[in-house]
Structure 1
Amino acid sequence: MSSSTVDPADPVFRLHRGGKLAVASTVPLTSREDLSLAYTPGVAQVCAAIAADPRLADDYTWAGHTVAVVTDGSAVLGLGNIGPHAAMPVMEGKAVLFKQFGGVDAVPICLNTQDVDEIVAAVRALAPSFGGINLEDISAPRCFEVERRLDEALDIPVFHDDQHGTAIVVLAALRNAAALLNRKLGDLRVAISGAGAAGVAVTRMLVAGGVNPEQVVVCDSRGILGQHREGLTGTKAELAELTNGDGRRGDVAEALRGADVLIGVSGGQIPEAAVAGMAPGGIVFALANPTPEVHPRVAAQHVAVVATGRSDHPNQINNVLAFPGVFRGALDARATRITDGMKVAAADAIAGVVADSLAPEAIVPSPLDPRVAPAVAEAVAEAARRDGVTR
């Protein structure tokens, strides 16, 4: 985008002028005594104490309440590989959401590399400054390896929000949609359109939450994943082995034939006729943003419950329902990592906020609901202690 496309009068550009973040002091600096306590000579006592016991950094630095929001700019929103400079407004926005909804301080870090080894090395090097790492907008399949290697190397939580944030909210929404329709998760036939970062994580999260993996069919751009597909590697090969118990072959229309649930995380368009082939009383989560895989009004003609990723339609599947509370709970518990149990607990907490007031157009809380983050944080912290991953 050239500078000629920037309209200074546009409220979007006015809001972003100068960025959305600033650093603020939490201590007074109005006297010589203040300076001697906050900096030299007083600070040396704290440094010496932390050197003797590094665990004290959680209590006596910002690390105990601060996460790094890290990207390489390779998969930003629907804009694609736009690089680290152009990714910064999104990372700033993510940091603002962390603070607003979870009381978690966050620092945007945009790396000028898309090499997996260099990303891992950079994050490992900066990790002592933070209590957690939120990976953001890193393209698949590199994102899987980056997260895996960092999770193994660091003793602080590492969380790729494009995968797990989406998956947590999808599980919460599906729990409530199933409850509303008097269905059990284990009985649902689920078609997932998209085998990228979100599709892989959603599949694994649904299975962890009680969906029968043999009843799940995952599609990529070439059709249904299964043992019949040659040349599959990595996560797609794992999905092919885990799912599609009936051995279905074909395209997304075949995946949807008789399905109870469609979860779209691909960005590709799904024909109305394919949605019409679903079982009666179905559920559609068309999450591509800004253009859902199938328009909500079209989907509503064929199914009982519809959700999207958009804020101008009911049932917005929004990651902000998950990540602020997940990190708040992980930091509060001083968790060393984020387990499947913690993610399922987060989904249950989100679902529970509106469990007593379910309706076809209200299966998840509003992103602005102040009850969500505290409920998620409490559930995640408890799960971390139960799973034995606390310091």
Structure 2
Amino acid sequence: MADKKQAGFTKREALFYHETIRPGKVEIVASKPMATQRDLSLAYSPGVAAPVEAIAENPANAARYTARSNLVAVISNGTAILGLGNLGALASKPVMEGKAVLFKRFADVDSIDIELATEDPDAFIEAVALMEPTFGGINLEDIKAPECFIIEQALRDRMNIPIMHDDQHGTAIITAAGLLNACHLTGRDIKDVKVVVNGAGAAAIACTALIKAMGARHDNVIMCDRSGPITRDRDNLDQWKSAHAVDTKATTLEEALDGADIFLGLSAAGALKPEWVKKMADKPIIFAMANPVPEIMPDEAKEVRPDAIVATGRSDFPNQVNNVLGFPFIFRGALDVQATAINEEMKIAAAQAIAELARERVPEEVASAYGKNHKFGTDYIIPAPFDPRLIEVVSSAVAKAAMDSGVAQAKIRDFDKYRHDLKSRLNPTTSVLTGVYNEAKANPKRMVFAEAEEEVVLRAAIQYRDFGYGQPILVGRTKAVLDKLHQLSVSDPQSFEIQNSADSPHVPAMVEFLYKRLQRKGYTERDVRRMVNNDRNTFASLLVALGHGDGLITGLTRTFAQSAREVNRVLDPKPGAVPFGIHMMIGKNHTTFLADTTINERPTAEELAHIATETAAVARRMGHEPRVAFLSYSTFGNPPGRWLENIRAAVAILDEQDPGFEYEGEMAPDVALNPTVMKQYPFSRLSGPANVLIMPGLQSANLSAKLLRELADNATIGPMLIGMEKPVQIAPMTAIAPDVLTLAVLAAAGVVG
């Protein structure tokens, strides 16, 4: 079976992603210390007795002493998995794990996936209802209609926690937000619009119900199923369809669309014909949300109606209706006020908040992700899913609506503080990295992979091409690379560009170029020819130097120092720059930048100041306001020592330059990072814990970076090489394919280098 590419990656790569590191996408991590016997005694017996008794006395204490108030279950029986149909509960597990990951990534909500092996609604309802003591909320997913309606309503009646079937209400909320903005742009009032809904499944019925709750008049909305418009005289309607039956002379979708303002498609590919779009009102609003192929492609709709506003469910077109804009933040707000339900008021508040956010100035990281400076308009009526403001805007709106509508059991007294707390839950680096990847897609580069016979490197190169970041250039023996591509089940290995020094037409020019560089450094032409023919780093670097590639990734087969020496024979630093390395340590809600971790053994004061300035610039590009600490064993002269003058001189240099960021030193790590210890030095110029750590020398820097990578729970990117004339990155020898890919994309996007 051919490994066809879908959505920028192949089936092979999707399976590899789910299999590597550890199978699946989730794990359980303890939130309390578990190192000592005392820790275990507090965590279990006898320490648990105290919270058990407190909760038995007052059930509200469960929110204080357990994870319940931040825990959502993602539950399915697999009867309607994505667009794949009824494949069963077990097959739905990858989707439910993915939903759990999205809850954590976007709203810091802990989530557990549960797959129930039953198609009996009563059995499903009973199983979920019995779990109410465990969870703060229930997200129902991929359950076919009409059972999904029965299950959700029954659970809402029985349970005293938020219940939401996201396929219905998540889609409805994002759709409603987009419609509000489309009506705003076209001068319409939702109370007056004529709407045609094509499709009568769970999502279509939820969308219809919500826009009616927001003001659309019942008689102005015509819903169509496979039999045509749903009218009051039809005798084949269930209770959910009949709730939206109207009197109309239209007998087909085509007739219903005559003069319609809005088309909402939640049906099938190609269901909306271009000639029918012509019959719609001026400035028609078309939401074609069938996936993966919409009811009409945006270019087809625009061809017949250039004045149309078009939205789809796809990320490769403007105005994507994406549920991730809603469900994480809706549950975040509901959990934070311990809501007993997710009601219509909360859904409307979420839709309005999302709509209003799209009208605000687009943040720089969102604009860069689109490849240009987008602003509110016909191609931007719905915010991007990685807009970092969503968590604070939507969650606070939902929480307030829960309080105002009387379903909140806890109150938020200070919404300004609450919004600040929401924002601090997430690490801005994750949003920026999403933008970086999109920037790389928008401006693809030719990336030279110097060690393409290594499986890790080759996997990264395959992903680099499959994900659309550019063209990989594979350096290695031709047959060996082709054999590896075959082993990795690549269907078209001959389509990859392979550069082999044994037969490359570029070798003569490479020898001439390199001999001119090295002839006064003790190298003969024969030495240079041998290096070009036998050393892949030299050969790969020359491809970049002579313009046959835009950037270089290497490092898997040799130490960083050796790889750097070989690259430096060919490529120079940027004029006036000092090359150095940064490790980026990414935690749940913080990122720390360590420099220089790779090159300069005993940096001078000038070099330290330069490294601090450049690292601060990288921190800013990654979404952080830099606070720079020059680290030492000594804090402001205590204890005294002989290696402090360079650090003090570097601080003095920055004093003269006024670089526009906070900096301080010399200081010990605890003074730089621990707010309690920082208070002992009220004269410190840092307003908070440092996020840029400038090390006094290579030994301490490299040791610290590697210790943190191995011992801490932080994700690590790096070392990232800064200051070279061309984009060059040297991965650690321990890197896996995602690490290599990340460095290649960072180089391609110009974020580092």
TM-score interval (norm. to shorter) = over 0.9
Q: Secondary structure at the match of 1:219?
A: strand
Alignment correspondent of 2:422: none
- The equivalent residue for 2:266 is 265
Amino acid aligned to 2:115: C
Whole-angstrom distance in 2 between the partners of 1:239 and 1:181: 26
Does residue 251 in structure 1 map to residue 255 in structure 2? no
* 1:353 counterpart letter in structure 2: L
Which residue of structure 2 lines up, in the alignment, with residue 96 of structure 1?
Answer: 101
Aligned to 2:431: none
Measured at CA, do residues 110 and 365 of structure 1 come closer, stay the same or move farther in structure 2, by a change above 3 Å?
same
Query: 1:320 maps to which residue?
Result: 324
Answer yes or no: is the 8 Å Cα contact 1:69–1:95 preserved in 2: yes
State whether structure 2 residue 322 is matched by structure 1 residue 304: no
Q: Is the 8 A contact 1:226 1:248 kept in 2?
A: no
Select 2:179's aligned residue among 174, 180, 187: 174
Q: Which residue of 2 aligns with 1:380?
A: 398
- Residue aligning to 2:211: 206
The worse-fitting range, judged by mean Cα deviation, of 264-273 and 199-208 is 264-273
- Tell me the distance in 2 between the aligned counterparts of 1:306 and 1:63: 41
Larger Rg over CA atoms: 2
> Which aligned pairs between 1:142-221 and structure 2 lie closer than 5 A?
142-221=147-226
Give how far 1:370 is off.
Answer: 1.1
Q: Which of 357-366 and 112-121 deviates more?
A: 357-366
Asked if 1 retains the 8 angstrom alpha-carbon contact of 2:76 and 2:116, the reply is yes
Q: TM-score, normalised by structure 1?
A: 0.95
Structure 1 counterpart of 2:24: 19
Q: Is the 8 A contact 1:271 1:294 kept in 2?
A: yes
Amino acid in the other structure paired with 1:306:
V
Over 4 Å off, 4+ runs: none
Deviations 1:16-62 (A, max 9, x none): 11000000010111112111111111111111211222221122111
Moved more, 311-320 or 299-308: 299-308
1:388: how far off?
Answer: 0.4
Separation of aligned partners in 2, 1:105 and 1:265:
30
- Name the CA distance, whole Å, in 1 between partners of 2:249 and 2:176: 24
Q: Residues 235 and 48 of structure 1: is their aligned pair in 2 closer, same or farther, counting only changes over 3 Å?
A: same
State yes or no: 1:282 paired with 2:284: yes
Residue segments in structure 1 that go unaligned for 5+ positions in a row: 2-6
Give the Cα–Cα distance (whole angstroms) in 2 for the partners of residues 384 and 292 of structure 1.
35
Question: Shift in Å at residue 252 of structure 1?
Answer: 1.0
Instruction: Indicate whether 1:340 and 2:329 are aligned.
Output: no
Q: Where do 5+ consecutive residues of structure 2 fail to align?
A: 2-8, 361-374, 410-753
Equivalent residues of 1:224, 1:248 under 8 A apart: no
Letter in 2 for 1:16: H
Preserved CA contact (<8 Å) 1:102 1:374: no
2:111 corresponds to which residue?
Answer: 106
- Judge conservation of contact 1:226–1:249 (CA < 8 Å) in 2: no
Q: Distance in 2 between matches of 1:157 and 1:300?
A: 40
Give the whole-Å Cα distance in 2 for the aligned partners of 1:265 and 1:135. 19
| Aligned equivalent of 2:44, options 39, 43, 46 | 39
Q: Comparing both chains, which one has the higher relative contact order based on Cα–Cα distances under 8 Å and sequence gaps of 6 or more? A: 1
Structure with higher helix content: 1
| Alpha-carbon distance between aligned partners in 1 of 2:34 and 2:400, rounded to the nearest angstrom | 38
Q: Is the 8 A contact 1:46 1:60 kept in 2?
A: yes
Q: Which amino acid aligns with 1:95?
A: A
Tell which deviates more after alignment, 49-58 or 146-155. Answer: 49-58
Q: Using structure 2 for the length normalisation, give the TM-score.
A: 0.50
Distance of 2:277 and 2:235 partners within structure 1: 28
Give % identity: 46
Q: What residue is the counterpart of 1:364 in the other structure?
A: 382
In structure 2, C-alpha distance between the alignment counterparts of 1:196 and 1:335, rounded to whole Å: 28
Distance 1:344 1:92 in 2: 28
Change (3 A) 1:233 1:330: same
The whole-number CA distance in structure 1 between the counterparts of 2:10 and 2:356 is: 43
Structure-2 change in CA distance of 1:248 and 1:325 (3 Å):
farther
Structure-1 residue corresponding to 2:586: none
Distance (whole Å) between structure 2 residues aligned to residue 174 and residue 85 of structure 1: 36
Higher mean C-alpha displacement, 221-230 vs 113-122: 221-230
Return the letter of the residue paired with 1:261: I
Q: Which residue of the partner structure matches residue 4 of structure 1?
A: none
Q: 1:180–1:358: 8 Å Cα contact kept in structure 2?
A: no
Counterpart residue type for residue 76 of structure 1 = I
**Aligned mates of 1:8, 1:141 — CA distance in 2:** 34
Shift of residue 124 of structure 1? 0.7
- Kindly tell me: are residues 299 and 63 of structure 1, through their superposed partners in 2, closer, same or farther at Cα, counting changes over 3 Å? same
C-alpha separation between the residues in 2 aligned to 1:72 and 1:201?
20
Q: Is the 8 A contact 2:313 2:321 kept in 1?
A: yes
Structure 1 residue 127: Cα displacement: 1.9
CA distance in 2, matches of 1:343, 1:8: 36
Amino acid of the structure 2 residue aligned with 1:310: R
One-letter identity of the residue aligned with 1:70: I
Give the drift of 1:8: 11
SS of 1:127's partner is coil
1:350 corresponding residue in structure 2: 354
1:76 matched residue in structure 2:
81
Inter-partner Cα distance in structure 1 for 2:249 and 2:61 = 55
Distance 1:9 1:278 in 2: 40
